Structure formats: structure tokens, C-alpha cells
A and B are shown apart, each in its own frame.
Chain A
Amino acid sequence: MPDVILVILEQREGRLNRVSWETLTAGQALAAETGWTLEAAVAGHGVTNFANEVGGKKVARVYAVESPKLEPYTPDAFAAGLKQFIESKQPKLVLMPHTYQVRDFVAKLATAMGRTAISDCIGYKKDGDKLLFTRQMFQGKLAADVSFSCEAPWFVTLQNGAFRGDKVEAGAGAAPVETVKVEIADGTIRNKPQEVFKEAKQAVDLTQAEIIVSVGRGIKEQKNIELAKQLAEALGGELAASRPICDSGWLPMDRQIGSSGQTVAPKLYLALGISGAIQHLVGMKGARTIVAVNKDSEAPIFEIADYAVVGNLFDVVPPLIEEVKKARAGA
């Protein structure tokens, strides 16, 4: 039997999240490179529909890992249920998205199986027979290629935005979907989770936005935020900011991009007056296209920008708004 790569996708609130698709893309690429078989799984209660959805992609097989005890999420149930499932299937490599949920249970799961997880990876390399997983260290100032020095299964979690979710390949036909019922003993679950809620009234999920206009210290004053807002509206995108802007209260915290805020991978990320501190870059460098406007030509944001405008944003943005409006009006 060939080795198996198992991608475990995450479903929450009625859908598979984008970083799950990114993880499946990574799984497809790894399968193509290693010749290993790609399988996928969704865990929860009543997850057959999700499994069917994944079955439309290029995977050999999809498992719906089922137990009423997997809903709502608890680390105890997920670690117990997935341990049972993984032990029965014996995959070589288990890929998961590095979401808050996965990081809540993956280390427990790996430890329960006497294994380790290489967490928050941004890529992989094949070095001869060796698989290396690249992860950021020292807050992104350095990168490390990390290998496993233990037996399989190898657990790897992937950073939001590290792979392209829209590049996930469709399958030639529907992959077989198999339901695997896991038994989670009474008394396993010790935590009692309450309902998930939102603190801020108008909290926005920037991770789903296709276009983001983001402002940094270069915006100078709170009243200038309006200019960026107009550009975001003209583009049909969301307004976001770097941490100092939200700390100052100029925009609510739920619009903050970066390590302590949201991590996004939109089609277009337009950074206005953002220097590009690493804590910000980790939250947006997965954007497909990055446009940066900054008056400092040495600003680190230009290191990762596709299009760069060295100049004063107050000179550039007003005509840009007009041009965007014209373009959208079909002029």
C-alpha cells in the first residue's frame, strides 16, 4: 500500500473554511511530488455533506469522521476521536490548517499518539527522500526547514494564506465518501463549551474579503481614515489597519490585520502608509497581489509588494479613487 497523506479539513458554522481548502491544495501538491495517496477527512457530527463537497476535489477518498460527541468542539473529543481514526488508517502525513481550533488540539493529539506536530508551516521542500517543512521563527525574522525524526504519522499544520485555496484541483469524478464512526467514551470530555459569540457589534470577518484597503501610521490623523474608506468603497473592498491604528482607537480592533489581529489572503491588498513590521506582514503576505503606497522607499512593505508607489498617500489616493470610479463605471 502506498503511503497516505491525510488532510483534515475544518468545518465551522455550516461551511469548510478557506484555510482548509488551502491545506487541501498543499496536500494535492505534496501528493503529486511524493507519489503518495491523498485522502481527506472532516470530523464532527452530521458532516457527510462536507465530506461530499470535499469529494468533488482531486482526492482518492474522503472520510466523514462521525460522533455526536464531536459537536460542539472540545479538544478532548477531537483528540480522542481523531486518534482512533488515525490509528485505524495509519497515514504517513496528517495535514491540518493552523486555525485556533486546530492549535487547540493538535499538540494533544500528537502527544497522545507519542508523536509531534510541526506547527504553523508556510511551505514544504523535498530534499532527496526527506520532507522538510518550512516555518517561521523569531516572529518571521528567520525561517527554518524542519524535518521529522520520529515514526509516522507526522502531523503538520499550515499557516493561513500559505497556499492558494482557489487552486485546489477538482477531481475527475466524485471521490468515494466513507463514514467512520468513532467511539468517544463517556467521561472523556471535561470542558463544557458555551455558545460562540461576537464581542464587537459590527465585527467583520476580513478573512473572507477579496479586496482590502489597509492603513498604517502614515495616515497620520483619525480624520484621514475617511480617505482610505472612500478608496475601499470605490473598490468594493473592506477597510483594515495595522495594529497602531487600532490601538489608537481610530478603527475598531476587529479591523486589525497582523499576528494579533486577522490573517488574510485577499485577491488585492492595498497598503496605505504601512511600513510593514513583521507582525503586520504575517497577517497579509498571503494576499495574491499586494500594492503598497509609502513615502519611505526603504519601507519593508516594498519587499513583498507586487506594485509599489513611493510617494505621499495624500497625493496618490484622491486621483486613485477617481480612476477606480471611472473604471468601475466602465469608462
Chain B
Amino acid sequence: MKILVCMKQVPQKDAPLKLNEAGTWIREDLSYEVNEPDAYALEEALRQKEKHGGEVVVITAGPARAQQVLREALAKGADRAIHLEDNAFVALDAANTAGSFAAAIKDEKFDLIFTGLQSDDYGYAQTGVVLAELLGWPHATIIMQIEKTDGGIRVKRELEAGYFQFVDMPLPALLTIQSGINKLRYATLIGIKQAKNKPLRKIALAEVQSAIGVNMQKIERLYVPQKTKNTEFLEGPPAEVAKKLVEKLRNEVRVL
């Protein structure tokens, strides 16, 4: 199976975020890491390849710094990488990002495309699904298991509130992968060494420009959410606090 994994570099989870002067984006002088669900998507692709053979290709869109995500993926076992390299990719909406990916892989024939189920920065949860639609492929989201079947694949979708569902799908197909679907591997020293010789194709913005339109949605303002609540602190010895709280639950919250 030939599998493409779409990956994204996002600010590190604990990185303190500062707004730019216009208040429309963050200042980008911070630490980055791979978007967590994308790491699981890559791991799943590597496992599928180990089982069924084939090739794992990783793709990302972003400035030079984003290459780190591809290098790590190659070190973990991906066969080659595609880097849509330009600062402009950071500000694209999901439709344009997906359009860029579709343009970049137009001469390739993949059986499967994996993405993480959403990104930790924008959190659209859309890029994968849009890409499937642009390619005319079936898709399934929030996947927790993938098995090859005679006619295609059987995937396990996570639904709300502890429910799941198996879905049979033909190939090619696009899947968005849930964190926790597998256990992530670490890159080995040999893997890191080998990664240096693996192909990494760079694609400039101009090469996919025709697939990019005006963003259909626009961030007008980015800000730190304000505290909206008036918190009432209940004080005193525990027995007294308990009495006060029950009085609130009874008369204000009205649940008793």
C-alpha cells in the first residue's frame, strides 16, 4: 500500500503564545513540534507498511522550520517527503491547504491518505475531509483501527460517548486518525542517519499557486479570551463552607 501522511508543525503545547501587533496572528518566535494526531497518523502508516508492504510518503506545508517534522518522519521510517515550503502556507484556510496538497500529489497514485483528526493550532478538523472531496475519494474520520480487507479496508470510527462503528470502504480512501490509535515509536540512531539520504522534494508556492484561491474565511481578530465569570469564594472552616455551598446549591443553583 502506498500511503501519504499529511503532517503539520504547530506551536509546542506549553509554548507561551504572544499576539502580533495587528492582533491577527501569533508571534512566531517560539518552539514548534509535530501536531500530535499527525504523529499517530504517521505511526499508523508505518505499521500498515510493515504489515502489507508499500511506501510511506509524508507531506507538510509551511516555512523552512516545518522541515523538521519531515526529517523526524523520515527518521522514524517514512520513505520520502514533500515540503510545500513557504511562509504563506501558514495563513491558508483548510480549503486552500487541501488544494495545495492535491496539486502537489497530482502525479502520484496513493492507496491511502492519512491526516491527524485536527490540528492543535487552528483546530478546523477539516483539511483531510476537504482533500478527500477534492480528490473525489471516500473518507472516514476519527479512526481508531484499520484493517485491510479483500475489497478495501475496514476502519473503526470513534463516535461520541464511548460508541464506535466499523465501516467498510473501498480504496483509495482518506482517513483522519485519532490520537491513541497506536503507540508511537522513537526514531533510532540508524533511522536518523538514514533519513539524511532519503528524498525530500521541495515545492515552491508558485508551483501550486493555481490551486490556491482567496481564503473563504478570515481571522479578523485573535485575542486572549476574557474571564466572563464572577467567582464567589466561599470561606470559613470546612463545616461552614459545606453549609454555605449547600445553601447555594439549593437556592441559587436549584439542584437540591
Contacts and interface: CB of A to CB of B under 8 A. Distances in A.
A233 to B, nearest CB: 14
B229 A320 contact: no
B132 interface: yes
B163 A146 contact: no
Contacts, number: 245
- Interface on chain A toward B: helix, strand, loop, or mixed SS? mixed
Interface string B194-224: 0000000000000000000011111111111
Given A307-B231, A316-B242, A139 B224 contact: no
B229 A309 contact: no
B227 interface: yes
B226 to A, nearest CB: 9
Interface in A20-45: none
Interface string B72-99: 0000000000000000000001110010
Interface string A288-331: 11110000000000111111111100011011101110111000
Contacts of A149: 214-218
B141 A100 contact: yes
B130 interface: yes
A272 to B, nearest CB: 12
A119 B166 contact: no
A146 B220 contact: yes
Interface stretch (B45-53, B63-71, B104-112, B115-123): B115-123
| Max count, chain A CB within 10 A of own CB: residue among B170, B224, B229, B238 | B238
B232 A191 contact: no
B163 A197 contact: yes
Given A107-B94, A142-B222, A200 B162 contact: yes
Contact of B249 (A127, A143, A268, A305): A268
A193 B120 contact: no
Nearest to A75: B139
B103 interface: no
Contact of B165 (A136, A193, A200): A193
Contacts of B234: 307-309
A307 B232 contact: yes
B164 interface: yes
Interface residues of B, number: 76
Contacts of A319: 238-239, 241-243
Interface string B127-152: 00110111000111110000000000
A324 B256 contact: yes
A86 to B, nearest CB: 15
A151 to B, nearest CB: 9
Contact of B238 (A130, A135, A315): A315
A194 B164 CA distance: 10
A211 B256 CA distance: 10
A99 B158 CA distance: 12
A190 B138 contact: yes
A76 interface: yes
B162 A199 contact: yes
B11 interface: yes
Interface in A162-199: 190-199
A108 B129 contact: yes
Contact of B255 (A105, A111, A127, A268): A268
Given A119-B125, A137-B122, A111 B133 contact: yes
Nearest to A320: B242
Given A144-B221, A146-B220, A311-B238, A198 B167 contact: no
B248 interface: yes
B1 interface: no
A143 B222 contact: yes
B253 interface: yes
Contacts of A260: 179-180
Interface of A: 75-76, 79, 99-101, 103-108, 110-112, 115-120, 127, 130, 132, 135-150, 190-200, 203-207, 210-211, 235, 253-254, 260, 262, 267-268, 288-291, 302-311, 315-316, 318-320, 322-324, 326-328
11 contacts: A108-B139, A120-B123, A137-B121, A150-B214, A203-B162, A205-B162, A288-B253, A308-B231, A308-B233, A316-B238, A320-B245
Cβ-closest 6 pairs across A and B: A203-B162, A116-B216, A319-B242, A107-B129, A150-B216, A107-B126
Interface of B: 11, 13, 17, 19, 26, 93-95, 98, 120-126, 129-130, 132-134, 138-142, 157-170, 179-180, 214-225, 227, 229-235, 238-239, 241-243, 245-246, 248-250, 252-253, 255-256
Given A308-B232, A316-B238, 6 more contacts: A100-B157, A107-B129, A139-B13, A190-B170, A260-B179, A327-B256
